[in-house]
Structure 1
Amino acid sequence: MKRAMLSTAAAVLAIGAAACSPNPPERSGGEAQAAREWARPPVVERVERSGSTLAVSGVADAEARVVLRGDDGAAFAAAADSRGRFEVRVPAPSGHLLLRPETQVGQDAAPSPDRLLILAAGQGPIVVLRPGGPTRRLDAAPPLGAIDSDGRMRLASGRAPAGSEVVEVQSGGETVQVAPDAEGRWSVILPVGDGPDQIRVGGRDFTWPGEAGASRDLLVERMASGWRIRWAGPGGAGQTTWLPDPAAP
């Protein structure tokens, strides 16, 4: 059976900036909350290796302070320019690195719900994990970029070649046609199964390995010619993300 479906777009929190002085006055609880709500979280667009560091770049509010925080307490920061462009330098990790982007407004922070995940010291996939939404890969990805599941819903996503009008996704005996957005990115809901199953995208077959075991900590493992990650978003809700390997050159 074949059916058409429009691409699902991940929601981005769009919020305006708040002015701050070098030594901001104390704020009431309501004022601090308002500052967080009116600051736009940063959007990470690219990660590139330069010697022993990783350059993480993207867009935020003009002249905002952008901070990337690790679970170990490490923090890396830089100021956005007048156009909102920023570049934060992060030491290349020896293994996997999970970072939480945020914008600082005075003494308050406007954290992004997204997580930046850098696998295998930057030699593996580099992705932006999105709670309840499709993972956005920043590395060279195959036709199927990721599958995300919370145990109740699965999202397949990827990026189509330039000029593609539709992407065909085959799963569970069903073929879905999904329209990429202006950047070529697409996502589509798949049926939830009890275990591994086959998915075909762009003429290539992929094997979803199933859910990872429950864990409140970051869990990364090689699985089914890809990487399976168990991670927790804001509020501690668990999510499994599988990232297929690119095709061999």
Structure 2
Amino acid sequence: MKRAMLLMAAAVLAGGATACSQTPPEQTGGDAPAPREWARPPVVQRVERAGSTLTVSGVADAEARVVLRGDDGDAYAAAADPRGRFEIRLPAPEGHLLLRPETQVGQDTAPSPDRLLILEAGRGPIVVLRPGGPTRRLDAAPALGAIDSDGRMRLASGRTPAEGEVVEVQSGGETVQVAPDAEGRWSVILPAREGPDLIRVGGREFPWPGEAAGSSALMVERMESGWRIRWSGPGGAGQTTWLPDPAAP
């Protein structure tokens, strides 16, 4: 069982390392990048709060228009510079905010399958949700950054600051080791489990609260020293994401 889980972990990590890469789509020499035949979705890398303003930054196609759309119809946009860097400023919401990033180049639009979730107006966790993939936390996260589940499979993920450090994950009586990618991010498949479970990562125990009730609308609740989110991807498939709180200072 341990060997099978290790093989699955390697496959997930290989896919995640490519999908979560934050390398800017830019040229290293010459002037502006050559025109592309199609637009690529933007990659959100950072969200910062200053007073009543949130600044969302990342990379996209050079000089493309980047848009963040909310389910309420609000949209916030800015143009990327010649190197593909963008910054979008928006008012901090009173509560939670779910945004869908997209790139516009001429008449072409490239919506991202990801969702940017900002909890408690930027005072809570800030994450990029990925349908069928590991959640990418942009805030200060503990050793276990997130658990994602679609009811059939659970995916644990996180980030380690130590280069080359192997991460050991214990769950359901099984132990698996996984090597992080070049950015320190890792992900591994866990045994399926609907009810509560105790997961151990980096010497700390994390109480997975179990699946959230089915819902097509965004649902956010405090649960077991963390946040449990129920949300739907582009195809309408429901997914549960649990975000553990950082350790108390």
The alignment's TM-score, normalised by the length of structure 2, stands at 0.88
Q: For residue 87 of structure 1, what is the amino acid of its counterpart? A: E
Residue 163 (structure 1) aligns with:
163
Matched, 1:12 2:9: no
Residue pairs, 1:16-165, within 5 angstroms: 38-165=38-165
Secondary structure, in 3 states, of the residue corresponding to 1:104?
Answer: strand
Alpha-carbon distance between aligned partners in 1 of 2:104 and 2:34, rounded to the nearest angstrom: 10
Following superposition, the deviation at residue 19 of structure 1 comes to 6.2
Residue 30 (structure 2) aligns with:
none
Residue 209 (structure 1) aligns with:
209
Q: How many residue pairs get matched?
A: 233
Q: Confirm or deny: 8 A CA contact 2:55 2:90 kept in the other structure.
A: yes
Residue 30 (structure 1) aligns with:
none
Q: Deviations over 1:192-228 (max 9, x none)?
A: 1130011000000001111101111000000010000
Residue 188 (structure 1) aligns with:
188
- More displaced stretch, 195-204 vs 156-165: 156-165
Secondary structure, in 3 states, of the residue corresponding to 1:217?
Answer: coil
Following superposition, the deviation at residue 108 of structure 1 comes to 3.9
Q: For residue 53 of structure 2, what is the amino acid of its counterpart? A: T
Q: Confirm or deny: 8 A CA contact 2:146 2:244 kept in the other structure.
A: yes
Following superposition, the deviation at residue 163 of structure 1 comes to 2.4
Q: Confirm or deny: 8 A CA contact 2:212 2:230 kept in the other structure.
A: yes
Q: For residue 120 of structure 1, what is the amino acid of its counterpart? A: E
Q: Deviations over 1:106-151 (max 9, x none)?
A: 2442100000000011110000000000000000000000000000
Shift in CA distance, 242/8, structure 1 to aligned 2, threshold 3 Å: farther
Q: For residue 105 of structure 1, what is the amino acid of its counterpart? A: V
Unaligned runs of 5+ in 2: 27-32
Q: For residue 106 of structure 2, what is the amino acid of its counterpart? A: G
Unaligned runs of 5+ in 1: 21-34
Following superposition, the deviation at residue 13 of structure 1 comes to 9.9
**CA RMSD after TM alignment:** 2.2
Q: Confirm or deny: 8 A CA contact 1:18 1:39 kept in the other structure.
A: no
Secondary structure, in 3 states, of the residue corresponding to 2:235?
Answer: helix
Secondary structure, in 3 states, of the residue corresponding to 1:236?
Answer: coil
Q: For residue 99 of structure 2, what is the amino acid of its counterpart? A: L
Alpha-carbon distance between aligned partners in 1 of 2:172 and 2:193, rounded to the nearest angstrom: 9
State the percentage of identical aligned residues.
80
Secondary structure, in 3 states, of the residue corresponding to 2:241?
Answer: strand
Following superposition, the deviation at residue 235 of structure 1 comes to 1.2
Q: For residue 223 of structure 1, what is the amino acid of its counterpart? A: M
Q: Confirm or deny: 8 A CA contact 1:18 1:105 kept in the other structure.
A: no
Q: Confirm or deny: 8 A CA contact 1:43 1:58 kept in the other structure.
A: yes
Q: For residue 101 of structure 1, what is the amino acid of its counterpart? A: P
Following superposition, the deviation at residue 176 of structure 1 comes to 0.3
Alpha-carbon distance between aligned partners in 2 of 1:239 and 1:71, rounded to the nearest angstrom: 17
Residue 246 (structure 2) aligns with:
246
Residue 218 (structure 2) aligns with:
218
The alignment's TM-score, normalised by the length of structure 1, stands at 0.88
Following superposition, the deviation at residue 245 of structure 1 comes to 0.3
Secondary structure, in 3 states, of the residue corresponding to 1:9?
Answer: helix
Following superposition, the deviation at residue 164 of structure 1 comes to 4.0
